[in-house]
Amino acid sequence: MPVRKIIHIDMDAFYASIEQRDHPEYRGKPIAVGHGETRGVVAAASYEARKYGVRSAMPSTTALKKCPQLIFIPPRFDVYKDVSRQIMEIFHTYTDLVEPLSLDEAFLDITRNHPKNPSATLIAKEIKTRIKEVTGLIASAGVSYNKFLAKIASDYNKPDGLFVIEPQDAELFVERLPIESFFGIGKVTAIKMHKLGIHTGADLKRVSEERLTRLFGKAGHMYYNNARAIDNREVVPNRVRKSIGAENTFETDLETSTRLTIELYHIARKVWERMDAKHFYGRTITLKIKYTDFEIISRSRTLQQRIDNFQVLWAITKEMLTQVDTHEKKIRLMGIYISNAEALIHSLPIQLTFNFKP
């Protein structure tokens, strides 16, 4: 079996770059896509704003303290979606194996590609050039033989980066990598690993698989493999999903309604991007809460119509949060999941799609 050739493409500051493209007066200036009011949150920040420490999911008030001259621009999600379609169309001219992760990033398996080009690096360069020509935007690309390494590589030389991890270099590269750079290891997990003396890939590699699974559950098996540059996941363009969602474990347990609302917005935005990228529009919303004592509760609501825009998703999840007890106990994790999707109905065999009256 030939060694796989995987490209991960990640657009640079996607929302903010579109705004600077369409509004010349914002170019070279620190901008944030979002709303600047007290309970606002940064959806995306330009690289000029990032120099001041402004990041996505940051409360707007915090962002303005870091960068008083920050310009807030209301999001235009329909425009971002249209640009994303253009980019995905470019991907499909090279391969049918395209797995979008959100509006602005995707995996491509170009082991067998339409142009019959044997060089994954040259294909990645060509894709970056075509994206710039068609959209006027900059993308970064990572190239390697599995998804884990390709995603790390795409983030290595941002912005406008192109980085290749060859099979013979992979293990040594991972050993030298800070643990925070591993895909799937967030701030909370990184802090836990630091307390265990794990700071680099080499440190992680010295820990047995049994201990990692005991400490981190199922993710421990993934960490064990990733420390050895192993990732056997395939690029799957048409996976049938039963649900889609996202959750976040907070660095410190939360109790104020303002902080919880801000964090919920960030999670809802991530869920919507995944829904839209996968064309997965469900009717059931589930809000998951884990308290500081590890008690887990969930609240679900099923709508008559599918959830096909962010405003509906956000309004309902925000309302659901008000029905959760946030006064007696602090919250360490929140998650939003969408299920009961029409996409599943359409995927059924044709003979099952008859009208049924109970």
CA distance 184 to 343: 27
Domain annotation covers residue 238: no
Q: How far is C-alpha 267 from the geometric centre of its chain's CA atoms?
A: 10
Look at residue 355 and give its three-state secondary structure: coil
Cα torsion 68, 70, 73, 79 to 10°: value is -160
- Closest-CA residue to 40 (of 80, 81, 70, 12): 70
pLDDT of residue 345 exceeding 90 = no
User: Which of residues 165, 181, 202 is at a domain's end?
Assistant: 165
Q: Domain total for the chain?
A: 3
Regarding whether 160 and 177 lie in a shared domain, the answer is: no
The verdict on residue 308 lying in a domain is yes
149 lies in the same domain as 11: yes
The answer on 92 and 135 residing in a single domain is yes
Let me know if 105 is a catalytic residue: yes
The residue that leads in pLDDT, 37 or 316, is 316
- Would you say 26 and 165 are in contact if contact means Cβ atoms under 8 Å apart? no
CATH number for the domain including 337? 3.30.1490.100
Same-domain check for residues 276 and 306: yes
The reply to whether omega before 2 is within 30° of 0 (cis) is: no
Residue of 19, 48, 99, 105 marked active site: 105
Residue 259 sits in the same domain as residue 146: no
Let me know whether 138 and 198 are in one domain: no
* Residue 231 located in a structural domain: no
pTM over 0.85: no
pLDDT at 106 over 90: yes
- Indicate whether 3 and 142 sit together in one domain: yes
Tell me the per-residue pLDDT of 165-188, one tens digit each, with 9 for 90 and over. 999 999 999 999 999 999 888 888
Q: Range with the lowest mean pLDDT among 12-26, 87-101, 137-151, 227-241? A: 227-241
Q: Specify whether 96 is located in the same domain as 182.
A: no
Instruction: Please give the torsion angle defined by the CA atoms of residues 39, 77, 11 and 187, in that order, rounded to the nearest 10 degrees.
Output: 30
Residues 121 and 183 in one domain: no
Containing structural domain, residue 66:
1-165
Q: What is the CATH number of the domain that holds 119?
A: 3.30.70.270
The residue behind tokens 């474990």 is 249
Residue 184: inside a domain: yes
Question: Considering the domain boundaries, does residue 356 fall inside one?
Answer: no
For residue 335, pLDDT over 90 is answered with yes
